[in-house]
Amino acid sequence: MTTPRWLSDDELTAWLRLRAVTMLLPAAIDGQLKRDSGLTEFEYYVLAMLSDASDRRLTLSDLASRTNSSLSRLSHVVRRLGEAGWVTKATCPDDGRSTFAVLTDAGMALVESAAPGHVEEVRRRVFDTLSDAEREGLSVALERILSTLDPAHHLTRDID
Amino acid sequence: MTTPRWLSDDELTAWLRLRAVTMLLPAAIDGQLKRDSGLTEFEYYVLAMLSDASDRRLTLSDLASRTNSSLSRLSHVVRRLGEAGWVTKATCPDDGRSTFAVLTDAGMALVESAAPGHVEEVRRRVFDTLSDAEREGLSVALERILSTLDPAHHLTRDID
DNA sequence: AATCATTAGTTGAACCTTCAACTGACATCA
DNA sequence: TGATGTCAGTTGAAGGTTCAACTAATGATT
């Protein structure tokens, strides 16, 4: 390694801000969901993905790639969601290795009750603070950053 | 709660990108540090804060607020860093309740060896993908978002 | 000086994620 | 059809964070 190219003042400022947002924003979003619905952000998105899927079901592998989770993590979480009555499992007729996670009616009701508060929190924390031009500037820059972090756009294709 | 104001298409796009970056960027930064130095990002920043402090020491409370950590988390981590020989503790003469965490020579050497690779990773993941204008757009928008998440700017005042 | 509230820090249990090892099903290819 | 490799998912242990309860020291109030 040659002598490192340290960050310029402007870069350092941007980096500290980016770092602060990546720490504080997920905590704020998670906190609202926990307080108002007893769900972690991850659990909420698992249920939300299922609520939007056809027949309210997805294989664990599909869910894992949509939520950027390991299969192991998802397996543990789906078991807990199952114990709570929000998700059940079903065999996949096309492939004996796959297992569907299926959203129950109770799970659907939970997502639907949690969604408005979640969206409000996203608005409050992000979009209420930004002008249209600022939002566009943010969006463009994030897209650039994602070009190396998620080149296949796995995490930005799906609905909320 | 009245009928929720759902996100517009542009807002949804920006939100998915912001969410993706908050998930993937810390994982990428953390991964590089773990691979090359055996440190988590949190441990690295604890040591980095100490390396920059006068007499290489800070009270745990001060460290906690600079790293956005709970005192409990920090207490556990400082114990582990102490077992590894990178940090020691010292009593605070001004206030018998406070305890200094002090960076050892070995800890200083570790931070100095880890810093270049870390900065390179930040460059590669963030600034190499952005034009100056894009970086500015990002920085401005993040600053707006932080106005409600961290109004006192606790996390953006300190050095890297 | 005695009391009460607050601040600094520690500790152990509970919880979640990661990791590695494992089972079972499908695919490939001889 | 048998052997081998890969894919889907599970499991239990290990490691880190959170939470609540705790100790000890300081500050404030009388």
pLDDT in tens, B87-140: 999 999 999 999 999 999 999 999 999 999 999 999 999 999 999 999 999 999
Q: Is the pLDDT reported for residue B160 higher than 50?
A: no
Which one of B1, B23, B138 has the shortest CB-CB distance to A138?
A: B138
**Checking DSSP bridges between strand A99-103 and strand A87-91, what pairing results, if any?**
antiparallel
Window from A132-136, B1-5, B34-38, B47-51 with minimum mean pLDDT:
B1-5
CA–C1' gap, A73 and D13, in angstroms: 15
What pLDDT, on a 0 to 100 scale, did the predictor assign at position A3?
66
Q: Please give the full DSSP string across B55-91, using - where no structure is assigned.
A: GGEEEHHHHHHHTT--HHHHHHHHHHHHHTTSEEEEE
Question: Which amino acid, one-letter code, is at B25?
Answer: L
The set of residues, in sequence order, having a beta carbon less than 8 Å from that of A104 and lying 6+ positions away, is A85, A86, A87, A88
Contacts of B150 in chain A (CB under 8 A): 20, 24
Note the pLDDT of residue B98: 98
User: CA B127, B64, A42: angle at the middle one, nearest 5?
Assistant: 65
A152 touches chain B (CB under 8 A): no
Please give the pLDDT value at position A127.
98
Does residue A78 lie within 7 Å of nucleic acid chain C, judged by its CB? no
Extents of the domains making up chain A: 21-149
- Residue A157 or B41, more confident: B41
The CATH number of domain B31-114 is 3.30.1370.160: no
Strand order in the sheet with B57-59: B57-59, B99-103, B87-91
Q: Using the beta-carbon criterion (under 8 Å), do A149 and B10 form an inter-chain contact?
A: no
* Mean pLDDT (whole number) for B35-55: 97
What would the pLDDT profile of A76-99 be if each residue is shown by its tens digit? 999 999 999 999 999 999 999 999
Size of interface A-B (CB pairs under 8 A): 204
Rounded to whole angstroms, the Cα distance separating A78 from A57 reads 12
pLDDT tens per residue across span A121-156: 999 999 999 999 999 999 999 999 999 999 988 888
Q: Quote the pLDDT of residue B138.
A: 98
For residue A5, is it left (φ>0), alpha (ψ between -120 and 50) or beta? beta
> Does 1.10.10.10 match the CATH number of domain A21-149?
yes
